[in-house]
Chains A and B, each alone.
Chain A
Amino acid sequence: MIEVYIAASLLAIAMMWRAARGQNVPVTGLDDLQGRTLEVDLAAFRNLIDPAQDEFLRRELAPREFRAVQRERRLAAIEYLRRAAHNATILLRLGEAARKGAEPAIMAAGEQLVGAALIMRLYSLLAIAELYVEVVLPDVSFSLAKAAEHYELLRASLSRLGYLQRPAAAHLYTGI
């Protein structure tokens, strides 16, 4: 039992250290997005989780090949979701900074971005867990369309905030 308590204590200290390190990377404006966000190809992600594509591959490939392909497709989808979750964290910070501003429209857009980012984080966690189940059991299938929809919503919230803050700075976040 002592080992469990020591492990829990060390984990708590490690998590605290991880949070403390975050102090060095503040996100306060659109300029801070450059180099911190990752590109997410939403069309490719949608293709990877498309049930029609799954059905097509199931028809065209031998069962063993299908399982191998599905596994790779699911792992690629997980990577897209990790990127989306990473971007959601950065955009959460951006939204928080925006809602501290003085202009009501920007504050509201910041609040909207915070909400969208939190939902995206939640969906990414759930979808990643579901995809891992699918990696282990390729015949099991979950509907993951919501994750793509929420990422689109997150992008829309970012565009709205970006437009209100600096209409000419769309190039700073188009790749997200």
Chain B
Amino acid sequence: MLPHKQPMTSQVLTYVLWLTPTVLQGMLAVVMWRRKLARDFPVFFWYTVMHVVRVCVNISVYRIFGYRSFEYFAVYWSAEAVDAAFQLALLYEVYSHVFRRYESISHLGGALFRWSLIALLLIAAASAAAGPSMGNDAVRGAVEMLHQGTIVVASGLLLLLFVFAASFGLGWGHYVFGLAAGLCICDSVELVVTVVRNQWGPIASETSSLVHTVAFNCSVLVWTWYFLRREGTPVVAIPAAGGELEKWNEALAELLNR
């Protein structure tokens, strides 16, 4: 959220952390459009544009109605809902790009996404039900729980994809990896931050908001870095060569010779 009633230096820092990614995302959208990458990554392109528009709208509403107004609350959380929908669509885009490269397992991508989504939705619902009581501010509590559920689903889907790709030795491709890495940084930090905030309430609110904003800045930097550079070789983790076969052979020979 935007800064409110903070010392001057802290307010400046918060504005910098808000405006830097917005400027970078504006640049990113232009670069994607010019390099025709918007056609390959339509969801990511519109997600980027949406973020720029969102910050402009949020700042305007904040300046007109103030931080504690209902208008700001409504605009902020409506944008969060749109953001959540975009996140899921973005993850589907990442899954499609990773699996599209491999004809023999391309059908697995959709199935993995669907089933993981269902399982994670159940986990998120169970986790929200087991969470702390919402107290007097029921609307805000419900919104935050919904937000936590989205982040649980998004982080889970990303983690599963990373594990699956590592198990099969799948390559990512330059842009897809950049996109997934940026999402991973942002979602992983946001998952911890949201859970901590929901658990400890307002005490952790200020710090968690700052940590989340810093993480989002890092994600935007990663996206900018990958999308400004041209595509190179595919990305994959190749384990170091080596093994213990000789040791097993010796042990086996020793047993047989006894």
Contacts and interface: CB of A to CB of B under 8 A. Distances in A.
Interface residues of A, number: 55
A89 B195 contact: no
Interface in B80-133: 101-105, 127, 130
A15 B169 CA distance: 12
Contacts of B184: 12-13, 16
Contact of B243 (A12, A69, A79, A92): A79
Given A1-B195, A118-B104, A19 B237 contact: yes
Interface of B: 101-105, 127, 130, 152, 155-156, 158-159, 162-163, 165-172, 177, 180-181, 184-185, 187-189, 191-192, 195-196, 199, 232-239, 241-245, 248-249, 251-252, 255-256, 258
Given A76-B252, A88-B169, 13 more contacts: A2-B196, A2-B199, A16-B180, A19-B177, A65-B255, A73-B252, A79-B245, A86-B241, A90-B238, A92-B170, A117-B169, A118-B102, A121-B167
Interface of A: 1-2, 5-6, 8-13, 15-16, 18-23, 25-28, 35-38, 65, 68-69, 72-73, 75-76, 79-80, 82-83, 85-86, 88-90, 92-93, 96-97, 111, 114-115, 117-119, 121-122, 125
Nearest 8 pairs of A and B residues by beta carbon: A89-B169, A15-B162, A9-B188, A26-B233, A76-B248, A22-B237, A22-B236, A72-B252
